[in-house]
Amino acid sequence: MNTEILTKIHETIQAYKTIIICPHKRPDGDCMGTAFGLQDMIQSTWPDKQVYVSGEESEYVKFLGTPDTIDDSVFTGALVIAVDTAAEDRIAERRYAQGDLLIKIDHHLNVNPYGDIEYVDTTRPAAALIILDLYRLFKDVYTLTEKGVRALYTGTLTDTGRFKYPGVDGDTFRNIAMLYDLGLDAQSVYAQLDTKSEALVRFKGYVLLNYQKTPNGVAYIEMTDTLIADYGVTIEDASSLVNELSVFEDCPVWVLLAEYEEQIVRARIRSKGPAINEIANQFDGGGHPMACGANLGTWTRAKELLVALDAHVKAYKASK
């Protein structure tokens, strides 16, 4: 935890009347949990401030809140905070540059530095934990309501795979313990996250019946736009099934390939063995060593990714 930069962020937040928090495109649980948690923390501490979350909605964690619709004029003189967003072009709210000052708060590898103030802590397995670091550092100042507590817990829970992923450590649980002290109702969060539509359950069955494996142990599933539409699920719902392929003993790496709007193919890549971020970087992607994404564009490019990952897994297995 870099207390010097966190102090600068705290002082900057204090100084601005209007604050706009910007998640990334196609936001996940951590991104939205971080955004709504930070919004609650600032708004409940300083009720006279105008604090917005502006960007895309997430169906998966819609119980946390809905992004605000704001006019261009709101950005004038405002502090903008981009959360959980490694690359500047991934900020969903494209008017962010109209603000007075930009802060980046993130936990991914800092391959694209940006912002007037930048706080990147790759030791934190969820961006929500950085907000909790800020809260803990200025505990005598900040207030969190039930809404913020729930949001920050959801962000941490989803991005750590329910505390199973690498990077979870004692600080993770010390921050989570603090949320329990603040009145966290964890069961209500689990109830929301564990509720699935019948359409999604049927689609999960499709995934388990139709996954494939490469020769050396990369499990993968291909999801076309037509297939997703036929099952009546959203692309976000479909992509949430990535970890259904995590259970195979002989497959340390698994991939979900999905066709987005305009037939653009993207990949969600996960590992419980070899680091995969360098492979993702070769395919216009990136992320954490064990959890990455890649913008592939075409199914041909997707096949190239699988070939590269298969060779990577082969080398990994040979080295053990």
d(CA 300, CA 266): 12
Task: Please report the pLDDT score of residue 94 as a whole number.
Answer: 95
Whole-structure pTM value = 0.88
263 pLDDT more than 80:
no
Task: Please report the pLDDT score of residue 309 as a whole number.
Answer: 98
Task: Please report the pLDDT score of residue 248 as a whole number.
Answer: 94
Each residue's pLDDT tens digit, 82-99: 999 989 999 999 999 999
Task: Kindly indicate the confidence band of residue 288, based on its pLDDT and cuts at 50, 70 and 90.
Answer: confident
Three-state DSSP class for 113?
coil
Q: What domains does the chain contain, in order, with CATH numbers?
A: 3-193 (3.90.1640.10), 198-319 (3.10.310.30)
Mean pLDDT across 132-159 = 97
Please indicate whether residue 91 or residue 284 has the higher confidence score (pLDDT). 91
d(CA 95, CA 78): 11
d(CA 314, CA 181): 47
Percent of the chain beyond pLDDT 70?
A: 100
Each residue's pLDDT tens digit, 207-222: 999 999 999 999 999 9
Task: Please report the pLDDT score of residue 17 as a whole number.
Answer: 98
201 pLDDT more than 90:
yes
The helices-and-strands tally (H runs, E runs) of the chain is 11, 11
Each residue's pLDDT tens digit, 42-82: 999 999 999 999 999 988 899 999 999 999 999 999 999 99
